[in-house]
Homo-oligomer: A and B are copies of this chain.
Amino acid sequence: MNSKYVNSKRMNQDILDKIKGIDYPLVAFNPDQEHISTVTTAKKELAHYGVRRTKVLADLKTAIKETGLADGMTISFHHHLRGGDMVVAQVMTAIKEMGIKDLTIAASSLTGAHDFLVDYMKDGTVTGIQTSGLRDKMGEYISGGNLAKPVIIRSHGGRPRAIESGDLKIDVAFLAASSSDEMGNANGSLGKAPFGSIGYALTDAQFARKTVVITDTLVPFPNPEIALSQSYVDYVVEVESIGDPSKIAGGAIRLTASPKEEIIAQNIAGVITSLPQFKEGFSMQMGTGGASLSAITPIRQAMITRGIKAGWCLGGITSHQVDLLKEGLVSELFDVQSFDAGAGLSVHENPLHHHVISASQYANGQNDSPFVNKLDFVILSALEVDVNFNVNVITGSDGVIRGASGGHSDTAAGAEVSIVAVPTIRGRLSSIVDEVQTIITPGNTVDIVVTDYGIAINPLRQDLIDILSKTSLPIKTLEEMKAFAEGIVGKADAIKYDYSHPVALVEYRDGSINDIIYKAIKDDDEEA
């Protein structure tokens, strides 16, 4: 096994074998060989409702009762409304009032809007968390070692793999929809609080034992836009508000770039436009970092100058990609998520060229093919990159969980050219390190690291080295970048963890565990 991509001191099979509270076998990641998930065991019970003319129930509590939700079960949510979500809170309030305990929340992700869940963990309503991301108070609480069961961190492609394989069995999916008819034909594109794609909800609905659609806009049957089919919906509940789409963009998504990010953006564009994949019909996905988004401007200019049009963009779609669509510079957008309110509105406004896809279609490496596997380029962000190209996007400089796995490892593995953009120095720390604190994306899937200091190409990609070394782009090694940064800010002190106390397991997209996050020890903890 290639040990460069696994930190076997903090994660190995022996450690995994001793971890309690997870009800399926934990397998250590092997970067040289894909983990073969056990044969699918996911079962969707057939429904025996007979003929029903409506599925609308009076309120959330009635729906929760009808689903048979009980202590110890697993419930799911999607995070399309991000910082504006109001559905998790309403469902959890009802659950708590009904006295149901010991639940696992398996959300596609969680944001600062869900900080209140800390209280539900403290009182035993919630005892398990499975998610792509954790931030703010929840991140602090989990990293503080306060939840008995380790959190499972999954990528956006790994989560549907877990659902389809039966590793993640969802008892009840509570799915916000911006509109639904009385039978549950639903979408995120119409109604009072349109959030665009409802992609993360689709696999949940397909496999959950019971699915409840929660909407603030009940439309006459049939809903003219059906992204989520009534075939997978058991109950529909109307609420006053599902949330505020104006808060979708925020947190992870910044729409302006610093001068340093502008340099990175130019370097990214330089790389992309120098490669043969930059040709008529090319495809790309961009993350939500400022540099990544700023790179659109010079790429767009090069497209116009050379008369090249993109075939498609993928992933979390922003207004930037919608602008390219409107300009005719890209033909199709595949939206697993709409990353800002404008992109959300465009799903309805440009229905023929927005394709709402499920997280499984987007990134699940173990269906017949996810879209990530056809990407030419992906531009990703990072908190840290190590000299083996491993990337951390989840633990902060204090060792606390404050990020998300997202589609990072999925797109890095699938795209022909994966580019990680990171400022050399961030917050007086070097972003290029000897070993990242947490490996979300193993280095063998990362092709190029772009910083404000230069461009590092993975030695595994001699083809890219051959081409890019003939350009005027500032090619460096990661070691050079690290030395440059450490020359300015010095070497950071090691972060202290309690290695007897795992708080989160990082599941790779193939279902193996590729890292473990431990309890962070704060300096004031030691002093106390």
**Residues B164 and A367 in contact, CB atoms below 8 Å apart:** no
**Residues B281 and A311 in contact, CB atoms below 8 Å apart:** no
**Residues A233 and B46 in contact, CB atoms below 8 Å apart:** no
**Residues A46 and B360 in contact, CB atoms below 8 Å apart:** no
Cα distance A281–B223 when bound, in Å?
12
Cα distance A40–B206 when bound, in Å?
13
> Main SS of chain A's interface residues?
loop
B-chain residues with CB within 8 Å of residue A370 when the two chains form the complex: 231
- Indicate if A470 sits at the interface (CB-CB under 8 A): no
B-chain residues with CB within 8 Å of residue A319 when the two chains form the complex: none
> CB within 8 A of A367: which of B47, B226, B365, B413?
B47
**Residues B366 and A46 in contact, CB atoms below 8 Å apart:** yes
**Residues B369 and A46 in contact, CB atoms below 8 Å apart:** no
> CB within 8 A of A361: which of B231, B332, B367?
B231
- Indicate if A137 sits at the interface (CB-CB under 8 A): no
**Residues A368 and B211 in contact, CB atoms below 8 Å apart:** yes
B-chain residues with CB within 8 Å of residue A353 when the two chains form the complex: 224
| Stretch of A50-58, A299-307, A474-482 with 4 or more beta carbons under 8 angstroms from chain B | A50-58
Given contacts A222-B334, A229-B361, A332-B222, contact A183 B352 (CB under 8 A): no
**Residues B367 and A231 in contact, CB atoms below 8 Å apart:** yes
Determine how close the nearest CB of chain B comes to the CB of A368; give it in whole angstroms.
Answer: 5
B-chain residues with CB within 8 Å of residue A351 when the two chains form the complex: 351-352
Determine how close the nearest CB of chain B comes to the CB of A156; give it in whole angstroms.
Answer: 14
Determine how close the nearest CB of chain B comes to the CB of A47; give it in whole angstroms.
Answer: 5
**Residues B45 and A39 in contact, CB atoms below 8 Å apart:** yes
- Indicate if A344 sits at the interface (CB-CB under 8 A): no
- Indicate if A21 sits at the interface (CB-CB under 8 A): no
- Indicate if A364 sits at the interface (CB-CB under 8 A): yes
**Residues A224 and B332 in contact, CB atoms below 8 Å apart:** yes
- Indicate if A36 sits at the interface (CB-CB under 8 A): yes
- Indicate if A522 sits at the interface (CB-CB under 8 A): no
Cα distance A1–B299 when bound, in Å?
72
**Residues B233 and A368 in contact, CB atoms below 8 Å apart:** yes
B-chain residues with CB within 8 Å of residue A369 when the two chains form the complex: 47, 49, 52, 55, 183-184, 230-231, 233
Determine how close the nearest CB of chain B comes to the CB of A66; give it in whole angstroms.
Answer: 12
Tell me the chain A residues, 1-57 only, with Cβ under 8 Å from chain B: 34, 36-37, 39-53, 55
Encoded as 1 (CB less than 8 Å from any B CB) or 0, chain A from 367 to 388 comes to 1111101100000000000000
Cα distance A226–B335 when bound, in Å?
14
**Residues B50 and A34 in contact, CB atoms below 8 Å apart:** yes
B-chain residues with CB within 8 Å of residue A164 when the two chains form the complex: 44, 46
Q: Can you add 20 more A-B contacts, CB < 8 Å, to A39-B46, A51-B413, A231-B361?
A: A34-B48, A34-B50, A37-B46, A41-B43, A42-B43, A44-B164, A46-B161, A46-B165, A47-B368, A51-B414, A55-B369, A184-B368, A222-B334, A230-B368, A230-B369, A230-B371, A231-B367, A231-B368, A231-B370, A232-B367
23 residue pairs A–B, Cβ–Cβ below 8 Å:
A36-B48, A39-B45, A40-B44, A40-B45, A46-B164, A48-B366, A49-B369, A52-B369, A53-B373, A55-B369, A184-B368, A220-B311, A221-B374, A222-B312, A224-B331, A226-B355, A229-B361, A230-B371, A231-B367, A231-B368, A233-B368, A233-B369, A351-B352
Residues of A whose CB lies within 8 Å of any CB of B are: 34, 36-37, 39-53, 55, 161, 164-165, 183-184, 211, 220-222, 224, 226, 229-234, 281, 311-312, 331-332, 334, 351-353, 355, 357-358, 360-361, 364-371, 373-374, 413-414
